[in-house]
Amino acid sequence: MAYAKRFPGGFVDLPSQTTDIDSQFLNAVEGSLLRLDSVDPSADGQVLSWLAANSRYGPALLLNKNIDPNAAIDKSKLNLAGQITNADISGSAPIQRSKLDFGVGLVDADIAPGAAIQPTKVVGTVPPGGGTGQALVKSSAADYAMGWSTLGNPGTTNQVDYAQIITPSAAVAATTEATSVAIITGASVVYDGTTRAKIEFFAPFATPSTTLVATYVLYRDATVIGMAKVSHYATGPTAMPVTASVFDTPAAGAHTYSVKAYVSTGTVTVQAGPGGSGQYTPAYLRVTRDPIVGPTGPAGPQGPPGAATASAVTNVSQLPASPSAGQIAFLQLTGEGVIPLVYDGSISKWTSPPFRAWTMGLNGSTLFSWGSSAVTDADALTNCWWLQRIVQPFRLWDTAGLKLQHRTRGLIKTAANTNAVIYVSYATAALNGGLSAYTRFTTGGISAGSGQYSFRVADSGWVDPSTYPTVADYIYPSFQYTSTGGISGPAAYSCYCDFRWVA
């Protein structure tokens, strides 16, 4: 029930009455009571809070600002279920690992690259143990089953022992295996009982006192593990290297390998030296682990596909379209067989291999010389045994769509102020017919150049004929020559001409 003022106008001070409580105080008390009586909380759990806007107390929830920072509120009074997020926890908060639930477990992203995690904490990691030079291999069919095994040291030597001599051995005269004489003895080495070893012996050669058979015996300790017989001749092929090798798996423990020798008759001396200019190499005994390779690595990247190869064709129109430089194809010509063609990207043409058309097979002391400025064909010469000319099929190539090119090379020289020139010429013929007259190609010649006195190499390079020959069954190559100035003395030797066919 609301409080009603007894005196609606408020308390007043009467002059005729004096009390300890004045009217101002009484009015204030009355105002506070009125404010309290007008409170009507709308929900359970609310508390009265002063509302400055209404100048009275009113119902309100308990806010963060209403709680003193020093208030000792117990955790049991707080409901934090589902309320704390990652942002609520300081990065330096010392939270114990036991307070964290990792659910399905850690993932790779949860572990820093520099985390010092012990190998024993990771399933399937590198097993303990292992020795120098060993490698991990599968120890069973189970996943992650790995074990250490001695396979060799990739990039390092697999040599177990090495012994050598650099001076000739004593002359060996023993004639039985039991009395064989030591040539080289290795060191005592401890073996594991499972590793196979390769034992090799080498000597640059051996010198016999007479023709004999020498037996070179390989020993493990006092046990013979193999031998090799070599026939040494007192005359004839005497300087032959001596080699022998054998594989052996020694029992666990220390063992010494050696090589000894005995002969059928006479004596034999194993030769050796320090190596170097004019010196024999050492004779040696070498022991290596087998296999002498490391574990097989992963397959390397696949190389690019090779150039496409066309099936044999009979006409250039059947060759691959848009070929790449270096592409190979095959041309089949009746009576000539299958000829390889390659696409030359520098000239954008298919080319056949060169065919030798003619050659002058002279040398520096028997030279071909001329002394006229007239152009003369080699066919006009007599006794030209040094000229070889080869008839080439012509119509077959032309029908297949290819055209002739020629190239001339050779050594020629001039006399004083005279230029020696050699041209390619040709005659044609039908099958079983005679030769036509010789015609000179004005392109593709070679010359020494005016004023040259010594032999020089000249090369025309591949050229097209100046005037293409009339096609016949065969073409018969030759050459024509001239010396400008008419002074005798120009000469040539080892000159030749090649043909090839292009499309």
The mean pLDDT value for 407-411 works out to: 94
Least confident of 126-135, 341-350, 351-360, 383-392: 126-135
- Tell me how far apart the alpha carbons of residues 199 and 222 are, in angstroms, rounded to a whole number: 15
169 found inside a domain? yes
Minimum mean pLDDT among 107-111, 174-178, 411-415: which range?
Answer: 107-111
* Gap between the terminal Cα atoms of the chain: 122
pLDDT at 156 over 60: no
Domain span at residue 448? 355-502
**Cross-strand bridge partners of residue 257:** 220
**Do the domain assignments include residue 451?**
yes
The DSSP letter of residue 325 is T
For residues 224 and 283, membership in a common domain is answered with yes
Tokens of 177: 């295996």
Residue 239 shares a structural domain with residue 323? no
Q: Are residues 273 and 405 in the same domain?
A: no
The answer to the question of residue 18 being in a domain is: no
Side-chain-side CA neighbours of 59 within 13 Å: the count stands at: 10
State whether the Cα torsion 178-183-188-193 is positive or negative: negative
Q: Are residues 172 and 245 in the same domain?
A: yes
Residue 14 maps to a domain: no
264 in the same domain as 172: yes
- 380 and 497 belong to one structural domain: yes
CATH code, domain with 418: 2.60.120
Within-domain flag for 405:
yes
CA 119 distance to own-chain centroid: 33
298 inside domain? no
Cβ partners under 8 Å of residue 478, min gap 6: 358, 377, 378, 379, 389, 424, 425, 426, 427, 438
- Quick one: pLDDT band at residue 66, thresholds 50, 70, 90? confident
Which tokens belong to 430?
């039908």
Q: What is the pLDDT of residue 124?
A: 57
Residues 330 and 393 in one domain: no
Number of domains into which the chain is organized: 4
Total number of residues shown for the chain: 503
75-89, 206-220, 329-343, 383-397: range with lowest mean pLDDT: 75-89
Q: How far apart are CA 298 and CA 291, in angstroms?
A: 18
Reported confidence tier of residue 1, pLDDT bands at 50, 70, 90: very low
Regarding whether 403 and 489 lie in a shared domain, the answer is: yes
Is the overall model pTM greater than 0.75, yes or no? no
Do 244 and 129 belong to one domain? Answer: no
Looking at every residue in the chain, the average pLDDT score rounds to 84
446-468 average pLDDT score? 88
Residue 150: pLDDT band by 50, 70, 90 thresholds? low
**Could you tell me which residues come within 8 angstroms of residue 134 by beta carbon, excluding any fewer than 6 positions away?**
148, 149, 150, 151
Q: Which residue has the higher pLDDT, 16 or 499?
A: 499
For range 109-119, the mean pLDDT: 81
- Greater confidence (239 vs 230) lies with 230
| pLDDT at position 374 | 85
- Let me know: does 436 contact 427? Beta carbons within 8 Å: yes
Do 375 and 488 lie in one domain? The reply is yes
Q: Judge if 370 and 444 occupy the same domain.
A: yes
CB-CB contact of 180 with 260 (8 Å): yes
pLDDT of 310 > 70? The answer is no
- Choose the final residue of a domain: 131, 151, 171: 151
Residue 271's pLDDT is 93
Calpha distance 311→157 (Å, rounded): 49
| 240: CATH | 2.60.120.760
4 located within any domain: no
- Which structure tokens are listed for 232? 């040494």
- Position 114 scores a pLDDT of 86
* Pair (493, 371) in one structural domain: yes
For residue 368, is it within any domain?
Answer: yes
